């Protein structure tokens, strides 16, 4: 498939935006006259860049490193900051308090019910120290694992930070998991403590999360205690000796005096990823890995600065939840925590939160924007978003019309959309955008500095103008070094190496299809396992979906591969119309025509199937593999991240 042509829309940075950008300051410090020159310097030697970023972020080290990068075990097991002592939580809290900024706002939270809470850095540190003291009193020591099964409320951030503060290992779980999915992760992690809530409100309906936790714990016998925060006021049974009221417990124990002195490479967090088959992978992250990568990316890509306010629509169980907390607080900004869905109780809720709390940076998934577009521009324009400086997105490829709507209606054509793509195992982005260069819809400028990334063909050679594998050829801080294997002393290195390092020697293959066009813009074309091969032509589902949602009658779409004896794969497009009454053979024929004009007749879909909904995660990422499996009647695989189970019946009913 040839490279996409650029859409007519083009965003241009102002001279002021370029001069003041963090990336511009880095270029000066590194002696590079352009972004491209910086990437070339990093590719020659990755050490000076990371040394410079540590200096510019002004981090606190309890002990300096003996070696910046230890490659004695090869790239796949690279160790950064060998011999150093560094605590991720202390760098988010104590560092700022010691520098006289304890009274600045660290967290702002607004719940679905309109409740608002704020915490300064000093107040947050106090609560973190209290909870860390409680965890220690309950027998949590350095290296022990602690589960988090909570919505995105202040106590969730307090829990994440307190676990690291105490030298333990956090295991965040998606707040929408069912009992089996939660049990699988807690048991695999050998969790000693679980942090949870009584319940939460979802679209106005109470959901008892502790009931899910209770059922899960029947299959997770390692959990000795459950700390329950009273969020929803739901009266639920508490198991004597195991279950503890959060506030009573923290009031009953002394806070720790200081944080645990941890190695830069001590385990800090396990993030579980889901796949189509096999058990979820527990991705191991360390104290000076995940947080540093998150800070670098937020500082360079989203241009985040101390004192600014960033909201990312996410969940603590997704990579972007911990990313938001560690990047914002590590830079000295304010993390704005959003509980609930973007358009409940009213279509303007997200925009109201942004106005009320002076959000300067908004991150959201493309599918969420597609769902908000249905309500039109009025809910956005009813609010003053003048303090907003950066729009950002992650999670999946964009389609052109939603991208333009985000840029025009939300950004007023004055704000850049910082497209950002990486993964749980990366601790952030592989490729991204920057507010210092022109942008066209759906695109990336290229590798995030520090990531020596490229696009390879099937022979492992650089490829331009055609779809290939997104790869990284040098290690970076934040790179997981292994998968958890169910114990604190062993690693599932075989599975880790097979997942990323065995395709091309010395090269990380991420599993994304990517293309670089003639103008140097990069585009993600979907996951490798989503990619469709029609008569030898590899195409990403996003290309079909972009064509479909350009029609004003289409809300969203998912393109899936269906086996064909002649072509290998043929394409079936699942389409959700904005109005069911528009669905007709005429509309189907017209949509076929749209795809033919965009993709060519040889890539005409086998069929277009109207459905009422598509399977999605809580943060509204479309689960194409699940849609395909349901359509074909195959094993659905891991459904732990699926939010709207009813979408499966919707596919059955209209197939």
Residues pairing with 491 in the sheet: 484
The reply to whether 171 and 217 lie within a common domain is yes
Q: Is residue 114 part of a domain?
A: no
For 195, the domain range is 121-251
The reply to whether 276 and 164 lie within a common domain is no
Q: Which candidate, 192, 164, 140, places its Cα nearest to that of 267?
A: 164
Under the banding of pLDDT at 50, 70 and 90, the label for residue 618 is low
The reply to whether 489 and 568 lie within a common domain is no
C-alpha–C-alpha distance, residues 380 and 393, integer Å: 17
The reply to whether 63 and 138 lie within a common domain is no
Look at residue 451 and tell me whether its pLDDT is greater than 90: yes
CATH number at residue 65: 3.40.50.12780
The reply to whether 164 and 239 lie within a common domain is yes
Q: Is residue 571 part of a domain?
A: yes
Q: How many CB atoms lie within 10 A of CB 94?
A: 20
Could you read off the pLDDT of 114-127 as tens digits, one per residue? 999 999 999 999 99
What's the rounded mean pLDDT across residues 594-604? 77
Q: Is residue 205 part of a domain?
A: yes
Look at residue 422 and tell me whether its pLDDT is greater than 60: yes
The reply to whether 327 and 238 lie within a common domain is no
Q: Is residue 107 part of a domain?
A: no
The reply to whether 153 and 61 lie within a common domain is no
CATH number at residue 207: 3.40.50.980
Q: Is residue 406 part of a domain?
A: yes
The reply to whether 507 and 539 lie within a common domain is no
Q: Is residue 289 part of a domain?
A: yes
Say what the pLDDT of residue 2 is: 39
The reply to whether 211 and 274 lie within a common domain is no
The structure tokens 């990755």 sit at 46
Which positions ≥6 away from 458 have C-beta within 8 Å? Answer: 468
Say what the pLDDT of residue 410 is: 98
Q: How many CB atoms lie within 10 A of CB 500?
A: 19
Q: What is the mean pLDDT of the chain?
A: 91
Apex 181 CA angle, 177 and 185, nearest 5? 110
Look at residue 489 and tell me whether its pLDDT is greater than 60: no
- Domain tally, the chain: 3
Q: Is residue 4 part of a domain?
A: no
Residue where a domain terminates, one of 225, 251, 277: 251
The reply to whether 96 and 140 lie within a common domain is no
The reply to whether 601 and 642 lie within a common domain is yes
Residue where a domain terminates, one of 522, 552, 576: 522
Q: Which candidate, 512, 507, 431, places its Cα nearest to that of 472?
A: 507
| Best mean pLDDT range from 321-325, 616-620, 624-628 | 321-325
In this prediction the pTM is 0.85
Say what the pLDDT of residue 655 is: 65
What's the rounded mean pLDDT across residues 452-479? 95
Q: Which candidate, 522, 422, 527, places its Cα nearest to that of 480?
A: 422
Could you read off the pLDDT of 279-335 as tens digits, one per residue? 778 999 999 999 999 999 999 999 999 999 999 999 999 899 999 999 999 999 999
Burial class (CB within 10 angstroms; exposed 0-12, middle 13-18, buried 19+) of 238: middle
| Contact status, residue 121 vs residue 129, Cβ threshold 8 Å | no
CATH number at residue 640: 3.30.300.30
Look at residue 433 and tell me whether its pLDDT is greater than 60: yes
Say what the pLDDT of residue 51 is: 98
Residue where a domain terminates, one of 497, 522, 547: 522
Whether a cis peptide bond, with omega within 30° of 0, leads into 345 is: yes
Q: Is residue 5 part of a domain?
A: no
The reply to whether 134 and 170 lie within a common domain is yes
What's the rounded mean pLDDT across residues 26-51? 98
């Amino acid at each position: 498939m040839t490279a996409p042509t650029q859409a007519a829309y083009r965003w241009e940075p102002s001279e002021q935006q370029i001069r003041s950008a963090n990336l511009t300051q880095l270029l000066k410090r590194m002696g590079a006259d352009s972004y491209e020159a910086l990437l070339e310097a990093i590719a020659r030697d990755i050490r000076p860049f990371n040394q410079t970023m540590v200096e510019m972020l002004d981090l606190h080290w309890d002990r300096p490193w003996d070696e910046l990068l230890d490659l004695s075990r090869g790239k796949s097991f690279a160790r950064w900051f060998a011999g150093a002592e560094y605590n991720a939580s202390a760098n988010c809290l104590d560092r700022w308090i010691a520098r006289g900024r304890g009274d600045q706002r660290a967290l702002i939270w607004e719940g679905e019910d309109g409740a608002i809470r704020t915490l300064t850095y000093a107040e947050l540190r106090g609560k973190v120290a209290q909870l860390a003291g409680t965890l220690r009193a309950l027998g949590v020591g350095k290296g022990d694992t602690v589960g988090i099964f909570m919505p995105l409320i202040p106590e969730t951030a307090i829990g994440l930070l307190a676990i690291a503060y105490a030298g333990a290992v956090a295991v965040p779980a998606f707040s929408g998991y069912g009992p089996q999915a939660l049990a699988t992760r807690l048991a695999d992690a050998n969790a000693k403590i679980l942090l949870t809530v009584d319940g939460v409100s979802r679209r106005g309906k109470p959901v008892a999360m502790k009931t899910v936790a209770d059922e899960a714990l029947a299959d997770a016998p390692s959990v000795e205690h459950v700390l329950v925060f009273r969020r929803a006021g739901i009266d639920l049974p508490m198991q004597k000796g195991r279950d503890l009221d959060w506030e009573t417990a923290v009031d009953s124990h002394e806070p720790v005096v200081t944080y645990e002195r941890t190695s830069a490479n001590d385990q800090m967090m396990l993030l579980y990823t889901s796949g189509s088959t096999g058990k979820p992978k527990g991705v191991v992250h360390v104290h000076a890995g995940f947080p540093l990568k998150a800070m670098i990316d937020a500082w360079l890509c989203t241009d985040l600065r101390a004192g600014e306010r960033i909201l990312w629509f996410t969940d603590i169980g997704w990579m972007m939840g911990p990313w938001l907390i560690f990047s914002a607080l590590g830079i000295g900004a304010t993390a704005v925590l959003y509980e609930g869905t973007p358009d409940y109780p009213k279509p303007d809720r997200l925009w109201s939160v942004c106005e009320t709390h002076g959000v300067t940076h908004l991150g959201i998934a493309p599918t969420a924007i597609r769902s908000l577009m249905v309500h039109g521009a009025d809910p956005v324009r009813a609010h003053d978003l003048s303090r907003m400086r950066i729009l950002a997105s992650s999670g999946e490829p964009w389609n052109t019309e939603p991208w333009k709507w985000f840029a025009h209606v939300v950004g007023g054509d004055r704000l850049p959309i910082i497209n950002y793509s990486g993964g749980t195992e990366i601790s952030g982005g592989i490729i991204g955008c920057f507010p210092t260069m022109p942008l066209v819809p759906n695109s990336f400028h290229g590798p995030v500095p520090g990531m020596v990334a490229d696009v390879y063909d099937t022979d492992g050679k650089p490829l331009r103008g055609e779809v290939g594998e997104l790869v990284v050829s040098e290690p970076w801080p934040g790179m997981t070094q292994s998968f958890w294997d169910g114990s604190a002393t062993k690693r599932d290195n075989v599975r880790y190496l097979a997942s990323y390092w065995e395709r091309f020697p010395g090269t990380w293959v991420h599993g994304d299809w990517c293309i670089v066009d003639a103008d140097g813009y990069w585009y993600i074309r979907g996951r490798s396992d989503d990619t469709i091969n029609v008569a030898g032509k590899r195409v990403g589902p996003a290309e079909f979906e972009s064509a479909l949602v350009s029609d004003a009658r289409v809300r969203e779409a998912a393109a899936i591969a269906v086996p064909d004896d002649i072509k290998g794969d043929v394409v079936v497009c699942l389409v959700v119309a904005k109005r069911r009454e528009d669905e007709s053979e005429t509309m189907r024929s017209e949509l076929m025509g749209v795809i033919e004009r965009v993709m060519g007749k040889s890539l005409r879909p086998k069929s277009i199937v109207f459905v009422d909904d598509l399977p999605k995660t809580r943060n509204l990422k479309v689960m194409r593999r699940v849609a395909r499996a349901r359509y074909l009647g195959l094993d659905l695989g891991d459904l732990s991240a699926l939010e709207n189970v009813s979408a499966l019946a919707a596919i059955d009913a209209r197939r």
